[in-house]
């Protein structure tokens, strides 16, 4: 039996500059894919993985995210009095039943690794998951994180979600190389294509040991002058095993305009209410 994974850290303190001006006053994690904000899709995936505790690492301008998961008394009583019960249910279940939410601030934008370290006082000395809500992984089965948590529960294996990327895109990702047992042997943040150890890139799902906190507290600033989660993990590779998890389904990079639009099209096409007419419209407007 391994210490259970019941906590996910969601680093959401970033500025979202790629979506300005939309993200001037709205956190990028609140941008909707069809009718649910990215942050809610991440929390729902965590729920499917059996996670009970969500830790948001936020910054000053991100209050809307906390509000989204909180009770909105006025809205709920209006919907109730108008007997809009489906809508009421949608509003009430933004945080799935049985989940609790904690919020911690990242006082300075010092990088993803630093954001994860900010969650230490809440997570404590136990294994946990990290999800980056920008990386929307559309898997109609169990979900990417559920598969990773299941792997951990079975074998005690820590893992990172990975996918192949074109070599000219390695400088946008953490890139791993594997040893002959298929374990992660090396990991480097945003390598230039000519020096990348492979084209296997990490996308935003991690199942990590408690030791990562100590590692993050001691690593030096790396790529972009930031404390990188990648460097923290890399410093543990000599003593801990990490596995790559090639997930099922499709990953949309919702931190980019193209990926965000693709996600909206995919979700729109299978929506029961608008799917058919949306498809017809797309055909007519090719």
Cβ proximity to ligand G1P: between 10 and 95 the closer is 10
Cβ proximity to ligand G1P: between 95 and 176 the closer is 176
Q: Cβ 228 to ligand G1P, closest distance in Å?
A: 6
Ranges of H-type helices in 1-111 = 38-48, 63-68, 73-81, 85-92
Cβ proximity to ligand G1P: between 127 and 255 the closer is 255
Residue among 247, 253, 264, 270 nearest 49 (CA): 247
DSSP string, 172-233: GSEEEEE-TTS-EEEEEES--TTT-S-SEEEEEEEEE-THHHHHHHHPPP-GGGS--HHHHH
Q: Cβ 77 to ligand G1P, closest distance in Å?
A: 39
Q: Cβ 271 to ligand G1P, closest distance in Å?
A: 26
Cβ proximity to ligand G1P: between 209 and 255 the closer is 255
Q: Cβ 132 to ligand G1P, closest distance in Å?
A: 5
Structure tokens at 213: 């906190």
Cβ proximity to ligand G1P: between 29 and 189 the closer is 189
Cβ proximity to ligand G1P: between 49 and 112 the closer is 112
| CA–centroid distance for 191 within its chain | 21
Name the residue number minimizing CB distance to ligand G1P.
174
In angstroms and rounded to an integer, the radius of gyration of the C-alpha atoms of the chain is: 19
The footprint of ligand G1P (CB under 6 A) covers 112, 132, 135, 173-174, 189, 201-204, 228-230, 255
CA angle 237, 245, 11 (to 5 degrees): 75
CA 203 to CA 132: how far, in whole Å?
Answer: 8
Q: Cβ 225 to ligand G1P, closest distance in Å?
A: 13
First-to-last C-alpha distance (Å) of the chain: 54
Cβ proximity to ligand G1P: between 173 and 247 the closer is 173
Are the beta carbons of 18 and 64 closer than 8 angstroms? no
Are the beta carbons of 123 and 115 closer than 8 angstroms? no
Q: Cβ 164 to ligand G1P, closest distance in Å?
A: 13
Q: Cβ 174 to ligand G1P, closest distance in Å?
A: 3
CA 116 to CA 213: how far, in whole Å?
Answer: 8
């Amino acid at each position: 039996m391994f210490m259970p994974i019941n906590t996910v850290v969601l680093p959401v303190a970033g500025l979202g500059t790629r979506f300005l001006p939309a993200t001037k006053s709205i956190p990028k994690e609140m941008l909707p894919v069809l009718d649910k904000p990215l942050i809610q899709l991440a929390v729902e995936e965590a729920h499917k993985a059996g996670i009970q505790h969500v830790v948001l690492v936020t910054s000053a301008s991100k209050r809307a995210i906390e509000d989204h998961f909180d009770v909105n008394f006025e809205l709920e009583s209006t919907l109730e009095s108008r007997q809009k019960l489906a809508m009421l249910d949608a509003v009430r279940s933004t945080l799935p039943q049985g989940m609790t939410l904690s919020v911690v601030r990242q006082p300075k934008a010092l990088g993803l690794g630093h954001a994860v370290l900010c969650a230490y006082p809440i997570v404590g000395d136990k294994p946990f998951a990290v999800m980056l809500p920008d990386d929307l992984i559309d898997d109609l089965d169990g979900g990417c994180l559920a598969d990773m948590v299941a792997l951990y529960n079975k074998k005690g294996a820590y893992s990172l979600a990975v996918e192949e990327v074109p070599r000219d895109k390695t400088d946008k990702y953490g890139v791993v190389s594997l040893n002959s047992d298929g374990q992660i042997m090396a990991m480097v943040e945003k390598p230039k294509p000519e020096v990348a150890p492979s084209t296997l890139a990490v996308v935003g799902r991690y199942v990590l040991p408690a030791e990562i906190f100590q590692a993050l507290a001691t690593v030096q600033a790396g790529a972009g002058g930031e404390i990188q989660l990648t460097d923290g993990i890399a410093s543990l590779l000599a003593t801990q095993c990490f596995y790559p998890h090639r997930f099922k389904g499709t990953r949309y990079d919702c931190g980019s305009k193209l990926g965000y639009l693709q996600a909206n099209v995919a979700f729109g096409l299978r929506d029961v209410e608008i799917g058919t007419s949306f498809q017809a419209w797309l055909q007519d407007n090719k």
